[in-house]
Amino acid sequence: MALVQCPVCNKRISSKAGKCPHCNSANDDNGSSLRIGHLKRSQRLMNQSFLAMTLFIAGVVVMFWGGEEPEGMRLNAGAVLLTLGFVGYLITRVQIVLHKRKSV
């Protein structure tokens, strides 16, 4: 008996269990629903990193568009976007690495 991760609630369940005891979602025997859950999570992480990149680029645009020194609201908005994008991207990269390691 092997322990696998429930694709819905991410708790550890037996691969032989017909459904997850925690959230009652179906878990078919050959584990294909778990693989689909894994793929969905990969897709979500890719979307997340894309979103973070977009925020970062938006921050760069707000800060440096037009070549004048940013000040006041523009500086604040740009700094927030840059920071969110950068931190979000780093976190997503770490999640992707951990996720890939888990799938082997």
**In the complex, minimum distance from the CB of residue 45 to Zn ion, in angstroms, rounded to a whole number:** 19
Q: Select 10 or 47, whichever has its Cβ closest to Zn ion.
A: 10
**In the complex, minimum distance from the CB of residue 90 to Zn ion, in angstroms, rounded to a whole number:** 29
Which of 41, 52, 57, 55 minimizes the C-alpha distance to 103?
A: 41
The rounded distance, in Å, linking the Cα atoms of 38 and 102 is 10
Residues that bind Zn ion (CB under 5 A): 6, 8-9, 20, 22-23
**In the complex, minimum distance from the CB of residue 9 to Zn ion, in angstroms, rounded to a whole number:** 3
Which of 42, 37, 39, 41 minimizes the C-alpha distance to 26?
A: 37
- Residue position matching structure tokens 């032989």: 16
The rounded distance, in Å, linking the Cα atoms of 35 and 5 is 10
Q: Select 5 or 48, whichever has its Cβ closest to Zn ion.
A: 5
Q: Select 39 or 75, whichever has its Cβ closest to Zn ion.
A: 39
